Amino acid sequence: VGASRFLRGLVSLIDARDLTIIVNTGDDECFFGLHVSPDVDTILYTLSGLISPTRGWGIADDSFACLQALGRFYDTTWFQLGDRDLATHIVRTDILHRGGTLSSATRTIASALGVKPIVLPMSNDRVRTFVDVEGRGPLPFQEYLVRRRGTGRVRAIQYRGIGNANPAPGVLRALRRADFIILPPSNPLVSIGPILSLKGIRNALRSRAARVVAVSPIVAGAPVKGPLHRMLRGLGHEVSPVGVARFYRGLVDVFVLDERDAAMAPRVAELGMRPLVTDTLMTDVTRSRRLAAVVLAELGQ
């Protein structure tokens, strides 16, 4: 959601066709035999204007008649899949069953929805993020986040399958050829972490010519959305922009932190990143655009 809010501002400032978006697929889940890619869909729905502005995920004004009927056959109806949203999962699953990849499914869906940037799933191989919660054991990410509402003490996070997963076609090339790279204000552990852990990604980032900017998802000691604070705390990290910046050491040139956290700028600088202090809250499109403009200006764009 943080990434999509940032993107809605960014695409209003640059030619969307110049933009390549690499999206986490570690949160993908199979419900009712349908392949759901929550992060990809949030990006696609945001960029196509279909997104529910109130929820920040799913399609605006969607209905839930099919999900309700699926409740007759399954007890896994805790993941809210709307009727219009289901069409996306149905076509993705259809393409995968016909031998297509997540890349080709994403391309087809993006094109049908009129999305202009290139949206790449991070990998066509199966990576599954598990959150190991005290007293519950490792939970698939959606079960942790949605079913359990992100509660419980986090002991570990696993990216299962990451060792055998390759970046999807176009991912490494996009990083190598980019004029600039932005790590949006997303969860560094479960949204950006899986991407950074894929074969070749860290190398591509270390050897890139482009400047890299990251935006802190933690503002004033708490995530704007989601259970990132519990994850950081559970794993022994500091719940602050500095705690996030540490994950990006050696990869990022500029680290954007909120003005409420201005006092931490020197500690970010100590990590070898230039701190950029600004208002990072994106409560509406105007503010998203303003933040994107600040980041672009820093990048000389």
Interacting residues toward a copy of itself by CB under 8 A: 32-34, 59, 62-63, 65-70, 72-74, 82-88, 90-91, 93-94, 97-98, 108-109, 112-113
Query: Residues 231, 237, 239, 245: is their CA dihedral positive or negative?
Result: negative
Contacts 24+ apart (CB under 8 A), 93-100: 93/33, 93/34, 93/35, 96/35
CB atoms within 10 A of CB 253: 18
Least Cβ distance, residue 42 to a copy of itself (angstroms): 16
Closer residue to a copy of itself (CB): 41 or 253: 41
Burial class of residue 61 (count of CB atoms within 10 Å of its CB; 0-12, 13-18, 19+):
exposed
Closer residue to a copy of itself (CB): 90 or 251: 90
Least Cβ distance, residue 40 to a copy of itself (angstroms): 15
Least Cβ distance, residue 22 to a copy of itself (angstroms): 23
Least Cβ distance, residue 33 to a copy of itself (angstroms): 3
Burial class of residue 16 (count of CB atoms within 10 Å of its CB; 0-12, 13-18, 19+):
middle
Report yes or no: 199 and 165 within 8 Å, Cβ to Cβ.
yes
Closer residue to a copy of itself (CB): 88 or 288: 88
Least Cβ distance, residue 99 to a copy of itself (angstroms): 12
Least Cβ distance, residue 57 to a copy of itself (angstroms): 16
Closer residue to a copy of itself (CB): 86 or 291: 86
Closest alpha carbon to 196 in 169, 162, 224, 244? 162
Closer residue to a copy of itself (CB): 67 or 192: 67
Closer residue to a copy of itself (CB): 88 or 240: 88
Token match 């050491």: residue? 249
